[in-house]
């Protein structure tokens, strides 16, 4: 609520009636009031400056804390980004290594399949050759048996011929015999006997 200016009331008649007329302006009171006012203003100014300084200090401290938090957040963010980049790089490398490993395994499987096919083909060839060898062995055994039979029969025939004609029969080459006779007189009998034989013949 505003107060109006109080104008001092002066009794001019009383002043003029005095032997030493003067007007009391109450300067001392005014000066005291002014000093009190100026002191109050100074105190207010001091408190205000101190408050402003405190606020500025608080703001500076808050700004510093905010800047530190911002710096920490940026540092953590950058670290997280670097970790993310490293993880992505590791993941890509693992994927490439896995792909190379899968390709290597696939190539190994193909090589293994090829080797198995080759082994199967070789086993088949071995069985085939074994069958051929078995057949040849059987044929050779039959041939030996046949030759043994022929040789035994021929030996019997030769022994009989040598006994009957008193000659000696010797093999000198393939399909060739050497007959040693003691006398030409037995030659016709020898030829006739050989014609009758199933082993020896003359054309």
The separation between the first and the last C-alpha atoms of the chain, rounded to the nearest angstrom, is 173
Across 178-191, average pLDDT: 67
pLDDT band (50, 70, 90) for residue 64: very high
Across 182-197, average pLDDT: 66
Tell whether pTM > 0.85.
no
Q: How many other C-beta atoms are found inside a 10 Å radius of the C-beta of residue 189?
A: 13
Q: What are phi and psi of 25, to 5 degrees?
A: -80, -5
Sequence ranges of the domains in the chain: 26-92, 166-203
Task: Identify the DSSP state of 162.
Answer: H
The pLDDT of residue 1: 45
Q: What are the E-state strand segments in the chain?
A: 168-173, 176-180
The whole-angstrom separation of Cα 74 and Cα 80 is: 10
Task: Identify the DSSP state of 8.
Answer: P
Q: Do 190 and 200 form a contact (C-beta atoms < 8 A)?
A: no
Q: In this predicted model, what pLDDT tens digit does every residue of 2-35 receive, in sequence order?
A: 454 455 566 667 767 767 766 666 667 878 888 8
Alpha carbons within 13 A on the beta-carbon side of 82: 6
Q: Do 191 and 202 form a contact (C-beta atoms < 8 A)?
A: yes
Q: In this predicted model, what pLDDT tens digit does every residue of 145-171 receive, in sequence order?
A: 888 887 777 777 777 766 766 677 676
SS3 133: helix
């Amino acid at each position: 609520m505003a107060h109006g200016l109080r104008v001092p009331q002066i009794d001019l008649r009383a002043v003029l009636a005095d032997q030493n007329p003067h007007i009391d302006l109450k300067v001392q009171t005014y000066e005291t009031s002014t000093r009190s006012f100026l002191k109050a203003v100074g105190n207010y100014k001091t408190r205000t400056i101190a408050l402003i300084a405190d606020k500025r200090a608080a703001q500076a401290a808050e700004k510093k804390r905010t800047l530190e938090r911002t710096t920490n957040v940026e540092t953590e963010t950058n670290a997280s980004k670097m970790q993310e980049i490293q993880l992505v790089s590791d993941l890509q490398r693992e994927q490439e290594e896995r792909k190379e490993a899968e390709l290597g395994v696939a190539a190994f499987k193909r090589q293994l399949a090829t080797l198995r096919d080759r082994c199967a083909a070789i086993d088949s060839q071995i069985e085939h050759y074994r069958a051929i060898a078995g057949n040849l062995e059987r044929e050779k055994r039959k041939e030996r048996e046949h030759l043994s039979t022929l040789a035994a029969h021929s030996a019997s025939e030769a022994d009989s011929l040598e006994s009957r004609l008193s000659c000696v029969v010797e093999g000198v080459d393939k399909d060739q015999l050497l007959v040693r006779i003691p006398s030409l007189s037995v030659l016709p009998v020898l030829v006739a006997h050989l014609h009758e034989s199933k082993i020896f013949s003359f054309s």
